[in-house]
Structure 1
Amino acid sequence: MEELGKVIKTEGDKLTVKIIRRSACSKCGHKCGLAGAHEVDEIEVEVDNTVGAKEGQVVKLEMGEQPLVVASMLVYLLPIISLIAGYFITFSLVKALGFKPSEAAGVIGSIIFFILSFYLLKVVDKFLSFNRKYHPRVSEIVE
C-alpha cells in the first residue's frame, strides 16, 4: 500500500506526516449523485525519517500488504467471531452448569464477548506496535 503525505513536523529522526485518506469512490471520475458524500479522512502518523525529509515536503509512505491484511482481518473478523462464539459458549456454559439454557443467556454472552473483543484488539495493537513491519515507512520524497 502506498500513500502520499505531507510532513508537518520533524523531531530528531522522527517525522509526523499528515495523510489525507479518501474512499475508493472519491477517486472515481464519474459524476454521480454521491459526489459530496465521499469519505475524506485526515490522519497523522509518526514514522522514521530514513530519507532526510524536511517539514513541508510531500513524501511517499509504504506498508507491506501482508501486515495490512493481517491487521484488517483482526479488526474486522475478531469482533464478529467473538459475537458468534460468545453466544455458543455462554449457551453451553449455562447448560453445563445445570440451568435451563435460553436465548437471552446466549445474547448476553454475545454482547459480553463482543465488548471484550475490543479490549483484546487494544492489547493486540499494543503488542503489534512494537513490530516494525506494522509501521509505514517513508520510501521517497516526492516534492
Structure 2
Amino acid sequence: MYKAVLPAMIVVGATSAALMPGAAHAAAGMQFASDVFVERFQPAPGGRTARILERADQLRPGDRVIFVVNWSGRKDGGFTVTNPLPRTIAFAGATDETQEVSVDGGRTWGALEALTVHDAAGRARPAHAEDVTHLRWRIPAPQALAGAGQMTWRGVVR
C-alpha cells in the first residue's frame, strides 16, 4: 500500500515556485489545494454501473486515481503549472484538452499521440501513457484573471 501523496507542482508566471503537495499554498499571489480520489465502479440498480469517488488515504497497486488541483488568485498574463508524475503512478489520461504531456522529463511537450520515445537501441516508437513523466497546463490570461479554476488528471497506481 502507498500513502496518498500528490506530486510537487511548479507554477510559472512572473516568478516560479515549487509547491509541496497536500495543502493550499501561495505562489506569486496564487493559492493551490490538491486532492486525490480513488475511482471505483460497482453494480447499480437497473443493470447500470455506479462510479464512486473516495478520498484516497492509502493506495494499492491497480487503483485508478483522479488528481484534482484547485487554484485561486488573479494573475496578469496567465501562468503555467507543471506537474511531475510520481514513479508509482502511471498516467491514465487527460481530463482537459488543454493539458500537455512530456515523456522526456519535461524537455518537450505535446499531445501524447504526437510524441515518440526511443528504446535502448535508439529506435523511435509512439509514446504510451506509461511513458508520461510530466503534465503541464497553460492557464491563459482571461482564465487567470477569472480568479479560480481546476485541473485534473487520471492515473493508475503501479
Q: Verify same fold: TM over 0.5.
A: no
TM-score with structure 2 length normalisation? 0.27
* Structure with greater proportional helix content: 1
Which has the larger Rg?
A: 1
TM-score by length of 1: 0.29
The structure whose residues are more often strand, as a share, is: 2
